[in-house]
Structure 1
C-alpha cells in the first residue's frame, strides 16, 4: 500500500459493512462464480461459492472481493435459471432486495421481489464498467489488443477491398476487376467467358467470397460435371477458405436414412453437386429447388445446348429451372460463341429471359453493335478521329465530342455502359491480356518394344501399363529409361512436373526414380490424403532441397497450379483435348515467367504416335491454346477412332490435313469476330490497376502479422516462426481464450501473399481468414481486454489524479447485406476525461500517450478502483453522455453517405436503361428498396461501451 499512499491521494474509508446474505465476487478467482457471505466476525469473513461448492475465508481488512449490485434494467438469473429484469432495488440492512419482471409465454408480465440470496451463482459480467468495478481487470496487453482489433475491424468494414483481401490469389488485374465489378452487385447474373488459363474459377471464387463476406449471399449452389467436383471443392477451400460440402448420392442417402423427413439441401449453406446427380434423380432436384439458394454457379456452361426449334437439352432445362428460382447466377465457359450464336444466345437467355427473349432481335442488335465496336476501336487507338468518326460517335451518344484524350476516354466508357451484353458477359483473351511467354513441344519418338499391343481396344494400345498393377510393364517400356536419362542430364537442375493418367502408374514411376535413379521425387494422386498432397506440393516447391520432379495422376491437372516450374512431361496422352489443355494449363498460366517446355514421349508406329500427331498437326494444341479443339474432335471422332485403332496410311494423313485447314479457318473467324470493346469492358485497365495498387498497399502496410503474434503470445497459443517465413500455430492446454477456429493438430500459416502462392501447405492468414475472424469475433463478443488500469507517467497533469478513457462502438442493427457500417463516418468514439470532468480526448491522442503508459500490478489496480469508485462512475456517465451527444450528427452524415452511394447507382442505371436493355427493372427496384430500408434503420444508431481504462498520473 506504500506506493498507492504516496502516489495517489487515497482516503481510507470506514471498513466495509458486511452482512450475511450479500453476494460477492472474488477478484482473483472469478471462475468460482458468485459467492454468498455466510459468516463474518471482527477479523474475517467466509464466502460460500455454490457454483464450485467451495468456501473461502478472507481477512476482513483486505479481502480481494468485489460487491456485486445489479442496477435498474440489468438482467439477473435466479437459482432456477429464470432470467429477470431489474425494475427497482432496495437495501434492507445491507442485503439488497430486487423488484424484478419477466415476460411469460402468453405475453403477460410476471413480477416479484427477489432477495439477492436467491440470485444464481453463475455470473458473466460483460459491460466494461461492471467488470471494472467488480475488479475484473485485464492485462494491459489485452486492452491494447482489443482497441487495435476494433480499429482493424472498423477499417475493413469501410474498405472497398472487403471480400478481396482474404483470397490466396495473385494480383492479376483482369481477375480482380471482374471480381470487384460483379461481386459488389446484389444478385449478380453474369457469364464469365475468359479463355482457358485466364482464371474463370478464381474469378468465380472471388465473387462468391465477396458475396458471402458482405452478406449479399448466404446459400450457394455450385453445379459442375462429375469430374470437376473435387477440383472446385479444393479450389474453394485452398484459395478462399470456403468450406463447400460435396453432395453425391451417398451423402444424400445417408442424410435421408438418418431423417427421412429432412431435406438434405437444408443441412448445409454452401454445396457442390454434379449436374448428372440432379438430372438422374428427380427427387433430389426437387429438394434442391425447394431448399432455395441465393447464388447459382454453373461450370462448363457450353454443355448447355438449346435451339428455338427443339428447346434445351437435359442440362439446359435443369439449369433453367434453377436459374428461374435463384436471384444470382454465374455461368462459366471458355467458349461463349464457339458452338454457334444460337447456343450463345441461349446462355444469355438463362441470365435474363426478359432481355433475351427472341433470337432474331438479338441477332439484329448484334449486327448493329458491330458499328459501335468499330467506332470504339478507333476511340481506343492512337489514330486521329475523322469527321465520319465524330459524326458516328455523336449519333451513338446523342452529343458531340472533341478529339481530345479526356473526351475520347469518356466516350469509350459511355459506349461500354450502353453495350448490350457489357454488364452480363465478361470475356478476356490471352491476346488482350498478354504476358504469356508461350510454349514449345519437345517430342521424343521411341522405338516400340516387340510385345507392344498394336491391335485390339484403343485403351490397350494407348495405356497398356494401366492393366499391369504389378509394375512389370516398366521392364520393357522405353519411356522409363528415357525419363531417367532426361532427369539426369537436360532437366537435372530444373523443376519438372510429370502427369500420367492413373495413380498406380505414378507410384511405380516414383518408386523407380527414387530407388534406382536416386532422384528427389514427390507424388500427388487420388489415394493420398489432403495433408499428404499439401506436403508433396510443398516439397516440390522448395527451392534448394525440394523434389526435382512431382509425379501426378490425372487429378494433378485439376485445381493445382505450379507456375514456378516450366518443364512438363506428358508420360501419356489423354483421349480428350480439354483434359490435355488442363494438364498444360497447370504451368501455362498467368504468372508463368518462362516458356513452357512440353516433353512428349511416344512409341513409334503405335496409337500413341498417331494421337500425338493428331494433337500436334491437326489441333496444334501443344503450341497454342486451341479454342476449337474440342469441337473439331467431336466433329471428327468417328474417323479419328478408326485411324487410332489401326494405321490407315494416307487416310490418316488426309484427316490431319482436313482438320488442320478447318482449324485455321475457324480460328481466323474467331479472331476477326473479336469484340475488343467487350474485352476492354471485361478489364478496364485504369480501374483494374487501382484495385491492384490498393491491394499492394494493403499487403505492404497491414498490421496483422504483429497483432496476431502479440495476441498468441499473450494468450498462450503456441507459435513457432520458421526460417522460411512461415509460422506454425498450435493450441495448448494453457490457452487463455476459447472458441477460436484453430486446428487441433496445429496449422502452418504465412502472412505474405507471394509465399502463399508457392506454399500451398501454408494457410494465408489475413483479416478474412477463419482463424483471424474467430479471434476478432471472440474479442468483439466477449470481455477480452475490456478493462485496464495503467500508470501514466507525465508532469503535464496533476500527480495522483486519475483519467478515464472509454471506447464506444457506434452500432446499428441491420441485415449484413445492407452494409450500413461502411457508411458510418466513424465506428469508434474515444472519450478521455480528467478526474474533474475535463474532456481532453482531442488533446491526448492514444498514440501520443502510448509510450508513457506502464503496467500496474493487479493488486494495486484493484485498490485504485475501490478507492476511486465514485469518481469512475461519475466520469463514465459523463463519457456516455458525450458519446451519445455525437449521435445526431453522425446519423445525418451516415444517411448522406449511404443515400448518396445508392442514389448514384440508381440514377446511373435508370439513365443507362434507356440505352442498355440488359439492365433489369427489378435490379433498380431492389436498389431503391435497400436504400429506403437502410435509411430507416440508420435512425436506430446507438453507442455501445467496448472498453474502459483508468489512468493513474505519476511522475516519470
Structure 2
C-alpha cells in the first residue's frame, strides 16, 4: 500500500496552480485527488504520483476553509491526518485539522514551495537569477525603449524621440521636412511610452491611404501589435465600444471624421496618446473649423498626450500653423494676432544665438545677447562669456548653457520639432531632366484657339466642366472631357507623345535611359494614371500597377508591394496624386512627373516619396512638357521662380498664396508669365532670408542637439553590442523549449519544439517560427529577418514570465568538494526589492527590481562575499526531484532557520539600495523641475499642469522608494556530498 490516506492534503508538482488537493480515494494501483479551488479531479498511479504532501511547521501561517488564519506552533497526528496547533488571529490557542485547510491556498512563494518540497530544475534557478541581473541593468539604461526598434541610428530622430518621450503627457508637433522620418519618430515615442508604462492605450488617426502602411511599419519596425479599425470591424463588435478592442487602435481619418457615432465612442475611451498624421489636412480658420479639425480638437482635449505629424506646417499659411499648435495647447495659443507678434521677435533671438558663437567679441555682439535676456543666471553666464580673461573651457561651458537657455525660453521649439535637409545633411542631389515635346494636333488646336480668343476659356470651362487653371494644365483631361468632339475619337494615350516618350525611355539602356531601373510615375488625375498604365501594357508590354484613390487599402498595398519587390517586381508604378503622400519609395531613384501639380507643396510631396533618409542615389526627376504650353510655363515658374526642384524650402504655400491667381492668368500669356516669375523670385529670396533668420533658425537649432543625440546613440550601441544577450538567449531558449538553427551570416531560425512552453510571441506550436539576427545592419537589410534585442517581444515575454511567476524560484543541487564534509547544507537565498507603484511612474529607471544574494552555511555563517554565484554554479550537480524532496523533508527545521537568518542579513542591504535610488531620482527630477520652473517664467509653452504633474511624480516616487521592502524571490538548497557521490 502507498502512504496516501483519504482527507490528506497534497499538491501537484506539475500543476501547483490547482491549489491544495484532497485525497478522495486510494488503493494499490491509483490515487484520486480533488482540487477544490479549481474543481478539478486527477487520478494518478500510486507508484509514480507527481504529488507532494503538504506539511507545515512552526511559524508558518495557514488559512482555514472558513477564512481565519492560524500561526503554527506544533502538530500532532491522528489516524494518519495532521492536526495543526497554534494561535488564531485573536491570539487564542486552537487546533486546525489538515482536512479543514482552505482549498485556495497557493504555494507560489519561494519559501512555501521549498518547505512543501516543490523544487525546480537547477538551470531554471540560474536563469531566474541572471534574468533579475539583466533586467536590473537594462531597465536603468538611458536608451530603454529606443534600442529595440529596427531603425538606423539617425541623430535628429533619436534626439526628438528621447526628448519628447521623457515628458509627462507630451503634446508636440513633429514637422520635419518630407523624408526625415516623422513616422519613425512617432513610433519611437510610442514604443518607449508603452515599454516604460507611461502609456497603455493609443489612438492613431491617419489618411485612409496610409492605414496599412502604418500597420506594417509599427509591426515590422517596432514589433507593436495594432488593431486596425473600420466600419466593418466596428459592426462586428455589436453593442460594445469597438475602440476598446485593443491597446493600440489605428483608424482612418476619412472614416472617423465622417461618422459622429464612432467619434462619440472614441471620445468615451481613455487615451494616453493621440497620434494624427498629415495634420495639415485639418481645416481651421478664425471663423470656422472643418469636421476633421473639430474631431481632433475634441479627442486632443480628452487625451493626455498628442503627437501631430505634418511635413508642411505652413501649407495653408501662418494661420494654419497656428491652428496645429492650438490643438496642442489651446490656452497657450488662443490668439492668432499675438502669435504673429511673437514670431516677429524670433529674429532677435536667432541673431543673439549667432552672436554667442563670436563671444568674447565686440560690444555689439554682447549687446545683441543682452537684449533678449534678463534673468540673473543668464546675465552671469553672459558676463563669463564676455570676459576675455576666462579660460576657453569656461567660455565653452557658458556658451553651451546660455544657448540652451535661449532655445528653451524663446520660440515654439518646445512644442514643435522641425528638422530641414539643410540642417540634417547627407541627402542626395536632385537632378531635373526636362523634355520638350510638340503637342498633338488635338491639344494644339485648343491651345491656339485660346491664344486667339480670350473668351474661349470661358466656353471651354463650360464645355468640359473642369476648373481653371486645371483645364489648361491637364490637356489629356481636357481631351477626355471633350469626348463628344468628332475629332476626339481615339483614346488620349494613343495621341499623346508623352506616352511614346516614356516607352522609349523605359527601353533605353544607354546613358540617361531607364531600362532595368525602378521608375515611379505620378500623374495628377486618376483617369490619367489608369489610361497610362493601359498604354504601357498595350503599346509596350509593361505590367504597371496603378495606385489611386479608387482602390481599396489592400489593393493599394498590393500595388506598392509589386513595385517594391526587387527580384520579381514590376519596373514601373503609376500613381495618381494620392501616391505622393505618405508612401516611401526610397528604393527607387527615377521619378517621372507625367504632369505637374498646381501647388508647390504637392510638388515637394511627389519628390519626397524618393528623396528620403536612406536614399543612396541622386534623384532623377524627369518632366515631359509640351512646347510653349501652360504646362511648360508652370514648370518655368517652379524652376526659375523658387528653385522648387532643387531642394525643399517650406515656403511654397506662401508663394502660391501671393501669386496663385496671377499664375493662373499668366498660363496663356508669355509676357505676363515672365513678370510673375520675376516677382516670385524676389519674394522667394526675401522670405527665405527672413525665415532662415527667425523662427526656422531657432527650430533647427532646437530640433536636434548633437550632444544629447550622440549620448542616446552611444547608449543604444552599448545595448547592441551587449555580449551577455546571446548567452542569455541560448539558455532561455533551451529552458523554454525553443529550437534554434544557424542559417549562416549571423542569422538563426527559431522554431517551437514539441516541448515548448505555450504562448511565446511568434512561436505558435505547429508553425514555422521566424528568422532573426542580433545585427542591426542585417535586420535593416532583410525585411524577413527580425532583430533580437533586450526589447524584442520574445525576450520580454520570457523575462516577464520568469520574474512574475514561480519558474526557478526553488532548486536543490549537490556540491562535491574534498574540503567539505558530506551531508552539510547551504542555502543560497535571493531577495528582491518590492516597491508597489503605478506603472506610469516608471519607477524602474531609478529602482528596478534589485537582487540581494545571501549564501549561508547550515551554522548560519555568511559566505556571500567568499563564494560568487558563477563560481558556485560551476561546481554544482543536479539531483532527481524525488531525492530533492526527501532531502528537504529531512532538514526542514534547519532550512526554516536559514530562511529567517538570510532575511535578516538581506535587510542590512536595503537602506543603501533605497538611498542610492532616491539620489538618482532627485538628481534627475529636481534638476528638471528647476529648469522647467525657470523656463515657465519666460516660455508659456511650459504648461502649468506639466509642472504640477512633475511635482506630484517626484513626491510619489519619493514615497514609493521610501516604502521599498525586500521579499524572498528564490532559494537554492545545496547539499555537500562525498567524492564517490554521483
Q: Residue 270 of structure 1 corresponds to which residue in structure 2? A: 248
Q: State TM-score, norm by structure 2.
A: 0.79
Distance 1:497 1:158, change over 3 A: farther
- Tell me which of 431, 438, 453 is aligned to 1:440: 431
Distance 2:666 2:888 in 1: 91
Aligned counterpart, 1:389: 365
Contact 1:802 1:951 in 2 (8 A): yes
Please state how far the C-alpha of 1:495 moved relative to its aligned partner: 6.2
Of 379, 388, 400 in structure 2, the residue corresponding to residue 398 of structure 1 is 379
Q: Is 2:479 aligned against 1:496? A: no
CA distance in 1, matches of 2:648, 2:47: 81
- Given candidates 406, 415, 421, the residue that maps to 1:430 is 421
| Matching residue of 2:728 | 707
CA contact (8 A) 1:573 1:612 kept: no
Partner of 2:589: 567
Structure 2 partner of 1:107: none
Work out the CA distance in 2 between the residues paired with 1:437 and 1:454. Answer: 41
Which residue of structure 2 aligns with residue 6 of structure 1? none
- TM-score between both structures, scaled by the size of structure 1: 0.81
Q: State the shift of 1:137 in Å.
A: 3.4
Q: Provide the rounded CA distance (Å) in 2 between the counterparts of 1:893 and 1:747.
A: 42
Aligned mates of 1:521, 1:142 — CA distance in 2: 54
Per mean C-alpha deviation after superposition, the further-off stretch among 625-634 and 369-378 is 625-634
Deviations 1:135-156, CA, capped at 9 Å, x for gaps: 5433333333222222222223
Structure 2 contact 547–560 (Cα < 8 Å) conserved: no
Task: Indicate yes or no: 2:944 matched with 1:921.
Answer: yes
- Counterpart of 1:296 in structure 2 is 274
2:142 is aligned to 160
Corresponding residue of 1:236: 218
Aligned alpha-carbon RMSD (Å): 4.8
Alignment of 1:335-346 (within 5 A): 335-337=312-314, 339-346=316-323
Note closer, same or farther for the CA distance 1:409–1:786 as it changes in structure 2 (3 Å cut): same
More deviation, 741-750/898-907: 741-750
Distance 2:611 2:977 in 1: 65
Give runs of aligned pairs for residues 601-620 of structure 1, distance below 5 A.
620=643
Asked if 1 retains the 8 angstrom alpha-carbon contact of 2:315 and 2:653, the reply is no
Which deviations, in whole Å up to 9, do the C-alpha atoms of 1:840-894 show, x marking residues without a partner? 1222222333433444454554454344444333322322332234334433443
Q: Distance in 1 between matches of 2:277 and 2:195?
A: 22
Instruction: Measure the CA separation in 1 of the matches of 2:228 and 2:431.
Output: 38
Structure 1 875/433 Cα, relative in aligned 2: closer, same or farther at 3 Å?
A: same
Q: Does the aligned pair in 1 maintain the 2:355–2:366 contact within 8 Å? A: no
Query: What are the superposed Cα offsets for residues 155-183 of structure 1, whole Å, 9 maximum, x if unpaired?
Result: 23222222212222211111111111111
State the distance in 2 between where 1:129 and 1:227 align. 57
Alignment match of 2:55 (pick from 46, 65, 69): 69
Give the corresponding residue for 1:54.
43
Task: Output the CA distance in 2 between the equivalents of 1:139 and 1:507.
Answer: 65
Which residue pairs with 1:12 in the alignment?
Answer: none
Say if 2:476 is the partner of 1:461.
yes
**Which of residues 191, 194, 199 is equivalent to 1:217?**
199
The alpha-carbon distance between structure 1 residues 209 and 16, as it changes in their structure 2 partners (threshold 3 A), is same
The counterpart of 2:10, out of the listed 24, 30, 33, is 24
Q: 1:874 to 1:451 in 2, by over 3 A?
A: farther
State the partner residue of 2:349: 372
- Residue pair 1:133, 1:869 contacting (<8 A) in 2 also: yes
Distance 1:523 1:428, change over 3 A: closer
The question of whether the paired residues in 2 share the 8 Å contact of 1:740 and 1:775 is answered with no
Distance 1:679 1:265 in 2: 37
Q: Report the CA distance between 1:814 and its aligned residue.
A: 0.8
Structure-2 change in CA distance of 1:771 and 1:739 (3 Å): closer
Residues 753, 764 of structure 1: 8 Å contact kept = yes
Secondary structure of 2:145's counterpart equals coil
Q: Distance in 1 between matches of 2:437 and 2:276?
A: 42
On the 8 A contact 1:500/1:506 being kept in 2, the answer is no
Q: How far apart are residue 264 of structure 1 and its match?
A: 3.9
The aligned counterpart of 2:486 is none
Q: Distance in 2 between matches of 1:25 and 1:198?
A: 60
Q: Helix, strand or coil for the counterpart of 1:441?
A: strand
Report the secondary structure of 2:113's partner residue. Answer: helix
Per the alignment, residue 776 of structure 2 pairs with 753
CA distance in 2, matches of 1:531, 1:714: 40
Residues of 2 paired with 1:77 and 1:730: CA distance? 46
Which whole-Å CA distance do the structure 1 matches of 2:805 and 2:787 have between them?
26
**Greater displacement, 809-818 / 278-287:** 278-287
Question: 1:264 & 1:318 partners in 2: Cα distance?
Answer: 17
Deviations 1:534-554 (A, max 9, x none): 9869853xxxx7869585767
Instruction: Note the C-alpha offset of 1:813.
Output: 0.8
Change (3 A) 1:754 1:448: farther
Equivalent pair of 1:156/1:162 in contact (CA under 8 Å): yes
Deviation at 1:23, TM superposition (A): 2.9
The alignment of Structure 1 onto Structure 2 pairs a total of residues equal to: 912
Secondary structure of 1:697's partner? helix
Structure 2: distance between partners of 1:684 and 1:533: 40
Q: Which runs of 5+ in 2 are unaligned?
A: 35-39, 387-394, 447-463, 484-488
Q: Following the alignment from structure 1 to structure 2, what is the Cα–Cα distance between the partners of residues 561 and 598?
A: 16
Q: Does 1:946 align with 2:958?
A: no
Are the aligned partners of 2:31 and 2:44 in contact in 1 as well (CA < 8 Å)? yes
Structure 1 residues 804-843: Cα deviation after superposition (integer angstroms, max 9, x where no partner): 2122221111101112232228711111122322111222
Distance 1:150 1:509 in 2: 64
Q: CA offsets, 1:568-592, max 9 Å, x none?
A: 2437457465555445334422233
Contact preservation (8 Å) 2:505, 2:514: no
From 717, 738, 744, the counterpart of 1:717: 738
